[in-house]
């Protein structure tokens, strides 16, 4: 400035010496230049002298032959670190100086606000200055100050507010106001970076990420435990189990009726000749009931097909009962929370439970400025609710939540800190938004970039995470809540969980039906062959044999005749006892002989001449399972 005024003065003086200076009024509207202007420019261009900024010389109206020094503000002085020439541009002479943080002996005023665990007052009363404070942000500030090299003095914000724009007064308040008025150089705390603030103050890179969430009191009302025993299985599973029970009972009953191998001697110690199908309708369902309830029923299937049904039903009941027992244990031990609200939409959709935020904080402005319909609705509710739902400190918000019937919308980092320490409080739903905390500076502060670099370095080294662990996890008494509590809320088992066992049951029943058909065919064929071989019996075809058997199985009443073998249903009551057909057996069998039994597996005491008769008997009663006593009495 000095040199330029001097150049102007010399030019004007030279002009005055050669011309008589005529001063005239010049109008801004009329584009009429001052007559002496051109001469003055020419005299200025001709000036040459050594000024403060070096030799001064002009060519075509531009200064030539000069250079500018590049200076760096160090602790006590400005140090030259390079030069700039009009033609050559910048020439750095001290590159290291750009990376040297320097040790400027400056003391910055750091404004903050008390908030656990970011900034807290130490309990000792006689502390002064910065020593009065502790917390996550205090440790962070200490680290940053040593990296960026500055001293600091912590002061609390007078109005105890973070800072929000008041539309009525058109003014900012809180920490933001302090920075705007340059009453503080930095603001360290849980200061949320948002658009409105960025337009009046600067923020460093975020050192922590968070979002808004809902703090609510853990409900104490427990659901009536009267019918809790039904809860482990879903309604659909109960219905399917009932269906499976009837299907298994009915299948075993039908197959038992159908298969010829289900007949047993009810008095094994004495051969009366009566064969009984134990699996009548009531016994079949009693068998299914006993198995389902892990008890015995006294009835045991005999045929392969009915045993398959029994086996698959046992497997089914094993899975169902095990699943039920395991889930019942979960239902009885897991604390079941019946929360009236599950998320922000639930809050917005009701008016019974008031909800609010911290006053003059970014959470409040989030709802105030949001364009999302749900949040707009929530803001209208909060704004109009009387008494006010806003709180001036977050502690007040927590107290209101603990008193019940109030939900506090707060920042997740703080919420985590609180719910880890107070088992009566819980988080509802997820995060409503995503943002970060940063260190705030006045607009254009030279400290911002340096602090941002320091924050990035601390983040990469994991030091911020270590500070987080120190202040969130390793301090004070924490609530020993089951960490998995929220997820381990016992849920009723549904088709998705155990539906497969029903499929296995159906497949098993279908397989048993196939086996029963096979048994039926096999037995019919055997009967037909046997009867053909009998000299005294008329010929019986396989089809008629099968028809007869089927008819007998389906109707189970009256009697039917076979040429050589006649079976008759003597009773069609439960526990059907049918008596094998009469063969040509003498009413009084021969006296048992004294000789040893033959090795052919026939009944002892019968002579070889008895063999045809015995053959019939073997045919009637499965030789492997039932052999009538020679004295057996057969119904006719």
Residues binding ligand CWD: number (CB under 6 A): 12
What is the DSSP track for 28-52? SSS----TTHHHHHHHHHT--EEET
| Least spacing, CB of residue 457 vs ligand CWD, in Å | 24
> Can residue 111 be called a binding residue for ligand CWD (CB under 6 A)?
no
For residues 264 and 278, what is the distance between their CA atoms, to the nearest angstrom? Answer: 8
Binding mask 291-330 for ligand CWD (x = CB under 6 A): ----------------------------------------
The angle at the Cα of 219, spanning 218 to 222, to the nearest 5 degrees, equals: 135
Nearer to ligand CWD by C-beta: 184 or 263? 184
Q: How far is the CB of 493 from ligand CWD (least distance, A)?
A: 39
Q: Compute the half-sphere exposure of residue 473: CA atoms within 13 Å on the CB side of its CA.
A: 6
Nearer to ligand CWD, 202 or 262 (CB): 202
Q: Which is nearer to ligand CWD, 191 or 263 (CB)?
A: 191
208 lies in the site for ligand CWD, by CB under 6 A: no
Of residues 477 through 506, those in contact with ligand CWD by CB under 6 A are: none
204 binds ligand CWD per the rule CB under 6 A: no
* DSSP result, 146-207: HHHT-EEEEEE-TT-----EETTTTEE-HHHHHHHTTS-SEE-SS-B--HHHHTTEEE-S-S
Considering beta carbons, is residue 249 or 361 the nearer one to ligand CWD? Answer: 361
Shortest reach from residue 164's CB to ligand CWD, in Å: 7
Closer to ligand CWD at the Cβ: 137 or 576? 137
Question: Which residue, judged by CB position, is nearest to ligand CWD in the bound state?
Answer: 361
Q: Give the span between the Cα atoms of 525 and 535, in whole angstroms.
A: 18
Q: How many residues does the chain have?
A: 636
Q: Which is nearer to ligand CWD, 74 or 368 (CB)?
A: 368
- Using CB under 6 A as the binding rule, the residues of this chain from 32 to 91 that contact ligand CWD are none
Token couple for 37: 């202007």
CB neighbours of 282 closer than 8 A, spacing ≥ 6? 574
Q: Give the whole-angstrom CA distance, residue 502 versus residue 320.
A: 10
Q: Are 407 and 400 in contact (CB under 8 A)?
A: no
CA distances from 293 to 215, 289, 503, 504 (A): 45, 6, 21, 19
CB of 207 to ligand CWD, least distance (A): 13
- Residues in region 505-524 near ligand CWD by CB under 6 A: none
Q: How far is the CB of 371 from ligand CWD (least distance, A)?
A: 19
Considering only CA atoms, which of 81, 94, 87 is closest in space to residue 67?
87
CA distance 398 to 409: 10
The answer to whether the bond into 379 is cis (omega within 30° of 0) is: no
Q: Give the shortest CB-155-to-ligand CWD separation in angstroms.
A: 17
The least CB distance from residue 195 to ligand CWD, in Å, is: 13
Q: Does the footprint of ligand CWD cover residue 162 (CB under 6 A)?
A: yes
Residue 191 or 581 with smaller CB distance to ligand CWD: 191
CB burial of residue 630 (10 Å; 0-12, 13-18, 19+): buried
Residue 256 interacts with ligand CWD (CB under 6 A)?
Answer: no
**Please, which residue, 162 or 240, has the CB nearer to ligand CWD?**
162
Compose the 396-415 pattern: x for residues touching ligand CWD by CB under 6 A, - for all others: --------------xx--x-
Site for ligand CWD in 413-442 (CB under 6 A): 414
Residue 160 Cβ vs ligand CWD, minimum distance, rounded to whole Å: 11
Q: What's CA 350's distance to the chain center, in Å?
A: 25
Tokens for 467, please give them. 């500070």
Q: Which DSSP letter does residue 391 get?
A: B
User: Which one of 249, 361, 442, 589 is in contact with ligand CWD (CB under 6 A)?
Assistant: 361
Segment near ligand CWD (CB under 6 A); pick from 15-23, 361-369, 582-590, 620-628: 361-369
Nearer to ligand CWD, 53 or 475 (CB): 475
Site for ligand CWD in 181-200 (CB under 6 A): 190-192
What torsion, rounded to 10 degrees, do the Cα atoms 122, 127, 128, 129 define? -40
Q: Alpha-carbon distance 21 to 96, whole Å? A: 55
Quick check: 116 binds ligand CWD (CB under 6 A)? no
Between 178 and 192, name the residue whose CB sits nearer to ligand CWD.
192
Using CA atoms, how far apart are residues 367 and 372, in angstroms rounded to an integer? 9
Burial of residue 567 (CB within 10 Å: 0-12, 13-18, 19+) is buried
Q: Is 173 in the site for ligand CWD (CB under 6 A)?
A: no
SS3 of 69, please?
Answer: strand
Binding part of the chain for ligand CWD, among 124-132, 357-365, 495-503, 516-524 by CB under 6 A, reads: 357-365
354 part of the interface to ligand CWD, by CB under 6 A: no
- Per CB under 6 A, the segment of 72-80, 149-157, 355-363, 498-506 that binds ligand CWD is 355-363
Antiparallel, parallel or unpaired: β 107-112 and 186-187 = parallel
**Residue placing its CB nearer to ligand CWD in the complex, 320 or 410:** 410
Answer yes or no: are the C-beta atoms of 67 and 83 closer than 8 Å: yes
The residue among 264 and 401 lying less far from ligand CWD, judged by its C-beta, is 401
Q: Per rule CB under 6 A, is residue 394 in the interface with ligand CWD? A: yes
**Contacting ligand CWD within 362-391 (CB under 6 A):** 362-363
Complex with ligand CWD: residue 265 or 360, whichever CB lies closer: 360
For 390, the token pair is 């806003």
Most distant pair of Cα atoms in the chain: their distance: 173
For residue 269, give both structure tokens.
């110690």
Task: For ligand CWD, give the closer residue by CB, 411 or 549.
Answer: 411
Contacting residues toward ligand CWD, per CB under 6 A: 162, 190-192, 358, 361-363, 394, 410-411, 414
């Amino acid at each position: 400035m000095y040199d330029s005024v001097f150049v102007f003065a010399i030019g004007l003086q030279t002009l005055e010496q050669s011309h008589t200076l005529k001063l005239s009024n010049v109008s801004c509207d009329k584009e009429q230049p001052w007559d002496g202007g051109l001469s003055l420019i020419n005299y200025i261009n001709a000036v040459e002298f050594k000024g403060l900024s070096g030799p001064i010389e002009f060519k075509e109206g531009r200064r030539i032959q000069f250079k500018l020094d590049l200076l760096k503000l160090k602790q006590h002085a400005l140090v030259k670190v390079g030069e700039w020439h009009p033609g050559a541009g910048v020439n750095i002479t001290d590159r290291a100086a750009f990376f040297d943080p320097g040790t400027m002996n400056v003391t910055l005023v750091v404004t903050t606000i008390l908030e656990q665990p970011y900034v807290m007052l130490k309990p000792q009363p006689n502390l002064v200055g910065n020593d009065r404070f502790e917390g996550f942000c205090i440790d962070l500030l200490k680290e940053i100050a040593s990296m960026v090299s500055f001293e600091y003095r912590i002061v609390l914000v007078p109005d105890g507010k973070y800072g929000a724009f008041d539309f009525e007064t058109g003014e900012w308040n809180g920490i933001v106001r302090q920075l705007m008025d340059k009453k503080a150089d930095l603001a360290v705390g849980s200061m949320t970076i948002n658009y409105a603030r960025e337009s009046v103050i600067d923020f460093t890179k975020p050192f922590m990420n968070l979002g808004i969430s809902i703090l609510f009191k853990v409900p104490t009302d427990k659901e009536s435990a009267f019918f809790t025993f039904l809860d482990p299985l879903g309604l659909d599973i109960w219905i399917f189990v009932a269906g499976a029970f009837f299907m298994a009972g009915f299948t075993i009953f039908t197959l038992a009726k159908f298969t010829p191998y289900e007949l047993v001697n009810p008095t094994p110690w004495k051969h009366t000749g009566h064969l009984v199908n134990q699996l009548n309708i009531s016994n079949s369902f009693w068998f299914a009931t006993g198995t389902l309830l892990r008890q015995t029923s006294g009835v045991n299937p005999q045929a392969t097909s009915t045993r398959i049904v029994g086996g698959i039903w046992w497997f089914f009941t094993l899975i169902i009962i095990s699943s039920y027992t395991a889930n019942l244990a979960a239902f009885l031990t897991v604390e079941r929370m019946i929360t009236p609200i599950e998320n922000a939409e639930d809050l917005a959709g009701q008016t019974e439970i008031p909800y609010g935020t911290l006053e003059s904080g970014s959470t409040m402005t989030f709802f105030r400025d949001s364009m999302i319909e749900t949040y707009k609705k929530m803001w209208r509710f909060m704004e109009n609710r009387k008494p006010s739902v806003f709180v001036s400190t977050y502690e007040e918000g927590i107290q209101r939540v603990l008193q019940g019937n109030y939900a506090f919308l707060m920042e997740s980092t703080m919420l985590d800190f609180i719910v880890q320490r107070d088992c009566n409080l819980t988080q509802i739903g997820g995060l409503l938004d995503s943002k970060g905390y940063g260190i705030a500076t006045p607009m254009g502060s030279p400290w911002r970039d340096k602090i941002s670099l320091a924050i990035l370095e601390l983040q990469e080294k994991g030091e911020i995470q270590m500070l987080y662990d120190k202040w969130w996890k390793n301090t004070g008494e924490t609530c020993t809540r089951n960490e998995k509590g929220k997820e381990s809320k016992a849920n009723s088992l549904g088709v998705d969980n155990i539906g497969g066992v029903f499929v296995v049951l159906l497949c098993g029943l279908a397989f048993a039906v196939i086996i029963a058909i096979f048994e039926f065919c096999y037995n019919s064929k055997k009967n037909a062959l046997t009867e053909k071989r009998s000299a005294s019996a008329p010929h019986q075809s396989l089809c008629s044999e099968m028809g007869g058997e089927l008819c007998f199985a389906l109707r189970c009443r009256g009697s039917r005749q076979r040429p050589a073998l006649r079976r008759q249903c003597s009773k069609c009551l439960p526990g059907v006892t049918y008596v094998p057909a009469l063969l040509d057996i003498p009413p009084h069998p021969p006296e048992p002989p004294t000789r040893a039994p033959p090795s052919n597996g026939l009944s002892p005491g019968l002579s070889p001449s008895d063999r045809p008769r015995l053959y019939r008997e073997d045919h009637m009663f499965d030789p492997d399972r039932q052999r009538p006593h020679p004295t057996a009495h057969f119904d006719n």
